[in-house]
Amino acid sequence: MPKSSLKIVIDELTVKKRADIIVASMATDYSRAALSKLFDLGNVKLDGELAKRGDKPKMGQVIDVDLSPIQQEPDVIDLPVLYEDNDVIVVDKPAGIISHSRGRYWQEASVASFIRDKTRDMIGDRAGIVHRLDRATSGVMIAAKHEEAQKFLQKQFADKKVKKEYTAIVYGTPKQSEAHIIAALIRNPKTPQQFMVNIDGKHAETEYHVTDSNNGLSIVYLKPYTGRTHQLRLHMLHIGNPIVGDLLYAPGMPQEDRMYLHAHSLTLTLLNGIVTTFTSPLPKSFKKRFIR
């Protein structure tokens, strides 16, 4: 069990450096994001006083760090299992659950924590995870139980041999009932947690068709040919029809109880050589939101 506290005496190697940089260099088992949070929680002190990230301690001063808040084990969650064998497990991820934690000790209940006891000979907070769904997205996720299975599945995703299909509710009705969107994506330099359409970005490609429209909303079937971060959300925004409940890319829209994007189908080859399609039924909330 790692120590729950850390004492750092400032010397010639750490003097004049920022407090957050010093702490990160001395607590390498933890993510920078988790350690930064400790400053907000008041768990980092400089000579007994609350420390700020930007403080630059003097020679001989002491930084005390209480690590206990980021050593907590994640809550136990139970996820619906769609399929399971000796190699893989397929779950129906609810909206609001993350795919994996953000750092070794910055834990939160996730798909990774749910499958942890089902994996073997793998370590780390992302053990078994071969692809991700955004926190706000629900639907089918496959995970590996051992390293051979993980490499086998990861290669299929890398080689673009996995077929993924999604359903979304979007604002408005797209001008074309079906289309093929090709729009490169790049991280937004002004807002790092967001991405944006930009010709200098990475190639991103999505096919869609509208299946129904009602009361200023449309149900759209989406098939991504690439797997860029936030791809479907950005491509629908790009054509003027953002996904309902997308707080990151449509913040001016009315408050919703979730983002209406669901991974309803995943087709790939299992280790036994059989091409298999896994499906997740559309959540009841989609129908309620569309017809209200």
Residue 266 forms beta bridges with which residues? 164, 278
**134 is a catalytic site residue:** yes
Catalytic residue among 134, 159, 212, 246: 134
Q: Which amino acid is at 186?
A: I
Choose among 138, 75, 79, 68: nearest CA to 101: 75
Give me the phi and psi of 211, to 5 degrees please: -105, -20
Give Cα 196 distance to the centre of its chain. 17
Give me the phi and psi of 113, to 5 degrees please: -70, -30
User: From CA 130, how far away is CA 127, in angstroms rounded?
Assistant: 9
Choose among 177, 168, 181: nearest CA to 246: 168
User: From CA 287, how far away is CA 219, in angstroms rounded?
Assistant: 10
User: From CA 185, how far away is CA 215, in angstroms rounded?
Assistant: 31
CB-CB contact of 23 with 65 (8 Å): yes
Q: How many CB atoms lie within 10 A of CB 271?
A: 15
Q: Which amino acid is at 55?
A: D
Burial 72-93 (b: 16+ CB within 10 A, else e): eebeeeebeebeeeebbbbbbb
User: From CA 245, how far away is CA 150, in angstroms rounded?
Assistant: 33
Which sequence positions are flagged as catalytic?
A: 134
